[in-house]
Structure 1
Amino acid sequence: MSGHTATELAARARRQIADATTPNRFVDVLESGGMPRERLIWLAAEEYRIVGSDRRSFALLAARFPEAPAGELFLGLAQGEGRALALLDDFAAALGESDENLSAYEPRPFAQVYPAYLAQRAAFGTASEVALAMLANLEEWGAYCSRTARALRAHYGFQEKDVGFFTFFAGSPPGFEEQALDVIASGLASGDDPEEAVRAARLLHAYETAFWDALVDGLP
């Protein structure tokens, strides 16, 4: 399979995700200035568990697929999650929450289906599935993080340092798309099922949507 095939597969996954995308009510409410402080704590605490889980998932993928190009991609993603955890501490501290509080928080089940699915794919999936799922969903996730950072500064009194977690994820890492496409192309050339890869991208998107919905559940 050629890199062009990987590019076409990514475009197909992105089209399907775009067709399934609905308004993000959590971010909409946040931008209105009406988000209760309790829900910001939920956001920090849910992300605390998600990022920790995702770091382990990417480390597992790097161990399962150590050869280039997959090994470098997944190791870089694991390192990025480690950086994100440190930045999340700043957001939690601005909310007055300690690591102990974040650990003691009772997670919402549907807020955690995203990392659960990623962990499943990390253990049992192919490198191309995970690479395509991350690539196809990254732009939407980054846009939500960018909007969240702006809203927190504009309406809730947070400083730039406090929202570093969200600005960190607002843009993709340099060279990420090229790396991910290389991993997808390599996997396809080795016989990975392109339909399973596109399915993984769709499911990851659905589970990310469930995360945002869980944070706004019950608000008027």
Structure 2
Amino acid sequence: MGDIVTRAKTEIAKQATGNRFVDLLEAGTVPEERLRWLAAELTRLVTSDQRSQALLASRFPAPPAGDLFLTLAQGEAEALRLLGDFTSAVGMSAAELAAYEPLPLAQAYPAYLTQVAVHGSSGAMALALLANVDDSGDTYARVAAALRGRYGMSEKAVGHFLFFAETPGELLDQAGEVLAAGLANGEDPDEAVRTARIVAGLETAFWDALAEGIA
């Protein structure tokens, strides 16, 4: 199983292009209006991902997959709750959230996760988590630090980003069990690697969309 995780990470590394939005955030040059965009885009993304994980739990209810996807769905619900503090910190009201028009490329990431939830395998989603967890966690840690250091936000305001900065080892162990079980049951390893790579690329596209047009 370790071989397929390494293979997926290698494929992801080949397509890595950096994260201009986070670079700008660390430089303190992201306009405050873009922080409101970030809050609104993440609200839609996390809401969609919660539903996707719940759908996977319904498709694969037996352990270990059912346990993993239920835990992930519950985690998304907690992340959404924490995101409310960031939304308040950037001064975005519920009415403004509802009226916000999302960026198509920013929402490609959750749209693809929904596609995987409907049509994909349990192991593919597990591999996407395992192969991307380090890079994704580092991104969220950097965002939290930049928001506190450059924009003066409180730890409570950046709680959403801190939540995703670290993934419990127990959850990763569960994901490893789901991946191993899927492969043992004949799931396609090539499709799993492809899924992990696309997830990484679309996560990059999310941040790129938010950076578009910033000088």
- TM-score interval, smaller chain: over 0.9
Structure 2 residue 89 is the aligned partner of structure 1 residue 94:
yes
Question: C-alpha deviations, 1:169-209, integer Å up to 9, x for none?
Answer: 00112312211111011001111000000000011111111
Report the TM-score when normalising by structure 2.
0.98
One-letter code of the match for 1:194? P
Provide the residue aligned with 2:52 in structure 1. 57
1:58-137 counterparts in 2 under 5 A? 58-137=53-132
| Alignment partners' CA distance in 2, 1:131 and 1:73 | 9
Provide the residue aligned with 1:39 in structure 2. 34
Structure 2 residue 186 is the aligned partner of structure 1 residue 191:
yes
**Segments ≥4 residues shifted beyond 2 Å:** none
1:23 to 18, 23, 27: 18
Question: C-alpha deviations, 1:57-107, integer Å up to 9, x for none?
Answer: 000000000001000000000000000011000000011112332222100
Task: Count matched residues.
Answer: 215
List gaps (5 residues or longer) in structure 2.
none
| Alignment partners' CA distance in 1, 2:16 and 2:145 | 21
Shift of 1:20: 1.4
| Alignment partners' CA distance in 2, 1:186 and 1:100 | 45
Report the TM-score when normalising by structure 1.
0.96
1:213 to 197, 200, 208: 208
What fraction of aligned residue pairs are identical, expressed as a percent? 55
What SS does the corresponding residue of 2:158 show, helix, strand or coil?
A: helix
| Alignment partners' CA distance in 1, 2:123 and 2:143 | 30
Question: C-alpha deviations, 1:146-178, integer Å up to 9, x for none?
Answer: 000000011111011000000000011231221
Question: C-alpha deviations, 1:133-152, integer Å up to 9, x for none?
Answer: 12211111110100000000
List gaps (5 residues or longer) in structure 1.
1-5
Provide the residue aligned with 2:162 in structure 1. 167
One-letter code of the match for 1:54? D
Could you tell which deviates more after superposition, 91-100 or 81-90?
91-100
Contact 1:89-1:99 within 8 A present in 2 as well = no
Shift of 1:23: 1.4
